[in-house]
Amino acid sequence: MKQTLTFSTFADAFRSHGRSDQFSYYALKSLFNYFEELENDTGKVLELDVIAICCEYSEEFPEDIADSYGLDIEGLGDDDARDVVVVYLETRTSIVDANCSGQIVYRTSF
């Protein structure tokens, strides 16, 4: 049995799993759109697994990502630092949204 999700039911699933603080509203919207597009592109129906999404995706500022992965962005302006982080992530994983209220939403499992 399959159920079509709206963004509202997608966001409600995070709340009902106690994960309402895991992602911002904008990041949730980006993830919802990303998964819908992925379904359309692949023709595969995805199953909503809130815990798996919380484990596999993250929303972080570029500076925090750079620190986590040892990227040297010292002395770079904000835009250049963001570019370095985006290029690093693009070569290793999937970026869901590179401009989500100043943060980047990306798949953390490389």
The yes-or-no verdict on residue 1 having pLDDT over 80 is no
Q: What is the mean pLDDT of residues 28-38?
A: 97
Give the pTM.
0.91
Residue 60 covered by a domain: yes
Residue 1 covered by a domain: no
Q: With contact defined as beta carbons under 8 Å apart, do 69 and 88 qualify?
A: yes
Predicted pLDDT at 97: 96
Domain containing 41 equals 7-107
Mean pLDDT of the chain: 94
- Average the pLDDT over each of 1-15, 23-37, 46-60 and give the range with the smallest value: 1-15
Residue 23 covered by a domain: yes
Residues 6, 109, 20: CA angle, nearest 5 degrees: 40
SS3 readout for the chain:
CCCCCCHHHHHHHHHHCCCCCCCCHHHHHHHHHHHHHHHHHHCCCCCCCHHHHHHHEEEECHHHHHHHCCCCCCCCCHHHHHHHHHHHHHCCCCEEEEEECCEEEEECCC
Residue 15 covered by a domain: yes
Per the structure, how many domains does the chain have?
1
Residue 2 covered by a domain: no
Q: With contact defined as beta carbons under 8 Å apart, do 31 and 105 qualify?
A: yes
Task: Please write the tens of the pLDDT for every residue from 54-97.
Answer: 999 999 999 999 999 999 999 999 999 999 999 999 999 999 99
